[in-house]
Structure 1
Amino acid sequence: MSYFTIVALMVFLAIAVGTSLGDPGVPPRCQCIKKESRPIGRHIEKVEVIPASSDCSETEIIATLKKDGRKTCLDPEAPWVQRVLQKLFKRTR
């Protein structure tokens, strides 16, 4: 399955969409400026996929970390991120 198909299916399977990391009073825009490409898979508690929209032309993947609840943007092109998404997709079936 291609990356795009996996992301699209996850979105349709009720993955949280459109949640803003910033203030509610700030106009919507891309939330991910820097993206983590180093493997941090075992530290991830939750993954949120935000599809491309009129506010942001890129699909954004935001991970919540187990240890401190901090949110980190993941590089959707990194092979390890694609594997994490595939595992999550298999769990939601």
Structure 2
Amino acid sequence: MTGKAVAALLTLLLLFAAGTRGKALPRSAIELRCQCIGTHSKFIHPKFIENVNLTPSGPHCKNVEVIATLRDGREVCLEPTAPWVKLIIKAILDK
């Protein structure tokens, strides 16, 4: 291809990309690896936890991952075998 043809093709692709709307995918659909490098096992009082995300093991990661979003916006990976984390998971699953 000549330089002009490449430039025209790139311009066309940019115009097409600008006219489309992307859709956000869930984190699990994007990430093909474990989210948690390490885990936190010390007790965190439930009043400081805003949300808990439980990701079962699968092809992306062999570990069950429990990610808590704290009220201050931080995300913390919790140790799924800790007794207090098991209680939180049980409470979520019983709902």
Range class of TM-score, shorter chain:
0.5 to 0.7
Pick the structure with more helix per residue: 2
1:50 lines up with 2:58 in the alignment: no
Tell me which amino acid in the other structure corresponds to 2:68. A
Structure 2 gaps, min length 5: 1-25
1:28 lines up with 2:32 in the alignment: yes
RMSD: 1.7
CA contact (8 A) 1:41 1:84 kept: no
- Of structures 1 and 2, the one scoring higher in RCO (CA 8 A, sep 6+) is 1
Aligned to 1:19: 27
Q: State the identity as a percent.
A: 41
Structure ID, larger Rg: 2
Residues 1-93 of structure 1 aligned to structure 2 (within 5 Å): 19-20=27-28, 28-42=32-46, 43-66=48-71, 68-90=72-94, 92=95
Q: Name the CA distance, whole Å, in 1 between partners of 2:56 and 2:92.
A: 16
Task: Using structure 2 for the length normalisation, give the TM-score.
Answer: 0.64
Task: Using structure 1 for the length normalisation, give the TM-score.
Answer: 0.65
Tell me which amino acid in the other structure corresponds to 2:54. V
